Structures are given as C-alpha cells and as structure tokens.
Amino acid sequence: MKKFVLMFLIFVSAAAWADDKQDQRNVYDVFGEVLKPSASASIDEQVTARIKRHMANLLYPVDMSSFVRPERDAKFRELVIGLQKQMGEPATGILTSGQFNRLAEAARDIDDRLIGLTPGKLIGRPDDGEWLSAVGTGAMDGIANPINVTRIFCLRADSTCEMSSAEFDLKYGMLSFGSPAVYEIKTWRPSRVTAIREHPCGTASMTIDVDTKAVTIASVPHLDLPFCTKEPPSIWKLVDGFPVAWKIHQDKVNKARALVYEPARRLIPPVQSYVPFAETPPAASDTSARGDFKQEGQQLSEAAQHRPEPSGVGEFDPDQYLKDTAPTGAAPAVAPERGLLSPEGFRAIMEGVLREAGRQMSRAGYLVELALISMSVAGWFYGLVTSVRRRNWFMVTLEFFVPPIGIIHGWGALIWILVDGRWQGGGTQRASADRS
C-alpha cells in the first residue's frame, strides 16, 4: 500500500512539473508543434495574429497591419513587456505559453455575459399540505460550483423527497443533468419537513422550513471507510441563484480588467457588487411569507388584470407600469437606487404578458372555432337537403348519423353549384335569348 501511494505521488509530481515546464516555454515554439503553415500565412504570423487579437480586445494599441514576431517589431515588443509587467511576470518581450493562456482568458472574460438565472427562490406547499416544492440554486459558502438550478419535490404519500439538478460547468462549458437523489422523509409538519439519505461514504440530512424559506442539507462523511475521500462535514443551502451568478460575472470581468491596457483601463469600469432589492415586510394577512403560493398568485393576477390600457405607441416604461399595477401592500417592484426590476416586478410583468397573450389567443381561437362550426353545420344541413331532394334515403340516413359525410357532401354540392351551375345558368339564358 505504501509503495502504491509513493508511486502515485511521484506520478502526480511529475505531471505537475511537466505542466509547469510547458507553461514556461515560448508560445511560438508551442504553437509551432501543432500549427501548420498555410499558403497565405506562416506559423509566426498565425501566432502573432492570435496574440494581437487578444491584446486588441484588452485595448492595447497593436498594429493589425503587421504580424511579425516581437523580436522584429520594437513597438509590439514594448506592448508585450507592458502586458507582462501587469501580469507580474518577468518582462522579456516574448510571451510564454502560460502567459498567453492568461491573455486569452482575460480577452474572453472582459466581455463575459451574465448567466441568466431567474431571480429568487421558490418554496411552497398547497392548502392540503400533501406535497412541498422548492426551486433555486444549490450553493456551499455562497458559491455554486458548478452553477446549477435545483428542484426539490416532496410527496407526503410516498414519504420521499426527490432532488434534481441541472448543472453547467463554467470551465469546460458542459451542461449536465444527473440522476435524482431520493431522500426518505422522517418528519412532516405543516411548516417543516426533514428527510435523510444514506450512502456508502456519508449521511445527508435535509431540512425544509417553509416559514423561513430555508432549505439546508448537512452532510457528514463516514471517516471509518478507507475507500471514501477524507472530506470534512459540509452544509449545502438552496439560495437565490441571481446573486451567485452575478458574483461569478463580477469576478471574471474584474480579474480580466487587471490586464487591460493601463492608459485605457478607465474606459472599462469595474463590475460593482450586487445590491439586493429592498423588500417591504409582509403584512400580517399575507400568507405568501409562509410559503403559500395562492395569495402571491392572486396578487400577481390582480396586478395583470388592472394594468392600464396603452394610450398609444411608444417605449414601454417598466417603472411606471409597476407603480400603476402593484397590489396594495406589495413589495417595491423597482429598486429606486438602481432602476432595476425586482424579482416580484419581473414576475408581475411576465404574468401580465402571458395573460394578455392568452387572452388574445383565446379570442382569436374562439372566432376561428365559431367560423368552423358554422361552416360545418351549413355544409351538413345542405348535404341533408340535397339527399332529401334526390330521395336518396340511404344517404339521408348515413349523413344524419355520420355528420362528417354530410359535411363533405354538402360542401361538395355547394362548390359544384358555384363553379358549374353558374356556367350552366349562363348557357340557359343565352339559349333562351336565341329562341326569342
């Protein structure tokens, strides 16, 4: 066993030493082993183009008309030296592979886009208390790694809580959806549920508190089993994913900003910390604070139903919209100091948009349905009349008990009259005129 551990440590150390050595190599030499010259560009020109493209994204005034190595371009070499100084690296004028990777990462992250996680977390139960649901982002110490959207659904009749997570790995850009984790319910109270999950290397205890809108999972490892990793106990919490995503965005942009061309750094302001929206304490009769979705849904529906009708075409003002439509006693939908929508305001607007879309679709669908029914009844009735006039009682019986046949027959006869009967009528009139 000791021999195996020693061999493993030697292998890890050798791999780390090799990676460190690779990072210190000249970037032109590293790319020279993987790139091939083309008919229009040499390897040195291709590597210089990559370096200059990344430096230009960080506002370095590089000359994009020349793609020679820094040794042959004094101005380009001075800019590379300035970049290395900002990195805290030796100013050699030639980038190493590791420095190039840092440059490429900063050039990408300076334009980082915020991960669009829905603001807020939802914890609720129905009036009968037979199930419990929670949706948010799972995090430890305020950090979600990987970023995720987690849903927990507890069913009292089955005595189980099922937790599912969709995770996005920021480093590798991979989206994954793992198998649900099933917890066994131990206690079920109107405002509190506890459940437990046993696995070979530890025990996880879940607690859901509806009153405080808190979901925690305490994991305790089994340290007596040799094949389990020696990890300390941990606390997992369900949190609002928007501040977590904002912190990731802030860290990436501000870290990249440190490598922006220093004279032009003022043109890219740093990303400020997320400021939570101020929330008004709920009224005593507001049951949404206890995790009941019914009252909250009624408030949002009222907000959508009583919204003002638009007086003309113009820009949509969300601030004024929310002031006009907010229910009495509801939390402010707009943060005055930032002019941004709060989660409540966002949900109110989406509720109104969806309700209006549903209303318009229902109205159009009703008119289309009414027209189709009217046309079908007219065709069916004319089909019956046609069969009666021809004394075809078999068709009368068939069309009466199988209306689709009558509809087809009736509309076929009407189309025939419109197309062929009019021509025959015209021909009869001309024949009468000839006789006279």
pLDDT per residue as tens digits for the range 101-111: 999 999 999 99
Alpha helices (H) in 58-178, listed in sequence order: 74-87, 97-109
Instruction: Examine the fold and report which residue of 198, 214, 239 is the final residue of a domain before the chain moves on.
Output: 239
pLDDT greater than 80 at residue 56? yes
The H or E element spanning position 265 is none
Q: Which residue has the tokens 């289309």?
A: 368
Q: In terms of domains, do 29 and 133 share one?
A: no
For 89-96, what is the mean pLDDT?
A: 94
Q: In terms of domains, do 354 and 382 share one?
A: no
pLDDT one-digit tens code per residue, 215-231:
999 999 887 777 787 78
pTM greater than 0.85 (yes/no): no
Alpha helices (H) in 258-401, listed in sequence order: 293-305, 318-325, 343-389, 393-401
Q: In terms of domains, do 144 and 233 share one?
A: yes
* Any domain includes 83: yes
Position 397 scores a pLDDT of: 81
Position 323 scores a pLDDT of: 56
* Any domain includes 50: yes
* Any domain includes 180: yes
Choice among 122-136, 236-250, 334-348 with the minimum mean pLDDT: 334-348
Q: What is the mean pLDDT of the chain?
A: 78
Q: How confident is the model at residue 409 (pLDDT cuts 50, 70, 90)?
A: confident
Q: Residue 134: helix, strand or coil by DSSP? A: strand
In angstroms, the CA 127 to CA 190 distance is 10
State CA 176 to chain mean position distance.
14
What is the extent of the structural domain holding 101? Answer: 2-109
Q: In terms of domains, do 58 and 148 share one?
A: no
Q: In terms of domains, do 45 and 71 share one?
A: yes
Position 14 scores a pLDDT of: 40
Q: How confident is the model at residue 46 (pLDDT cuts 50, 70, 90)?
A: very high
* Any domain includes 246: no
Position 245 scores a pLDDT of: 92
Q: In terms of domains, do 354 and 403 share one?
A: no
Q: In terms of domains, do 357 and 381 share one?
A: no
* Any domain includes 177: yes
Q: In terms of domains, do 136 and 204 share one?
A: yes
- In the chain, the percentage of residues whose pLDDT exceeds 70 is 70
Position 29 scores a pLDDT of: 94
Q: In terms of domains, do 175 and 233 share one?
A: yes
Position 7 scores a pLDDT of: 45
Closest CA to 71 of 55, 92, 88, 101: 92
Closest CA to 148 of 126, 171, 131, 164: 164
Number of other CB atoms surrounding residue 261 within 10 Å: 19
For residues 299 and 243, the model is more confident at 243
Report the number of distinct structural domains present in the chain.
4
Position 95 scores a pLDDT of: 96
In angstroms, the CA 307 to CA 177 distance is 39
Q: In terms of domains, do 12 and 56 share one?
A: yes
Q: Which of 139-153, 220-234, 322-336, 415-429 has the highest mean pLDDT?
A: 139-153
* Any domain includes 346: yes
Q: In terms of domains, do 127 and 235 share one?
A: yes
Asked if 406 and 378 count as a contact pair (C-beta separation under 8 A), the reply is no
Q: In terms of domains, do 137 and 189 share one?
A: yes
CATH of the domain at 171: 2.40.160
* Any domain includes 211: yes
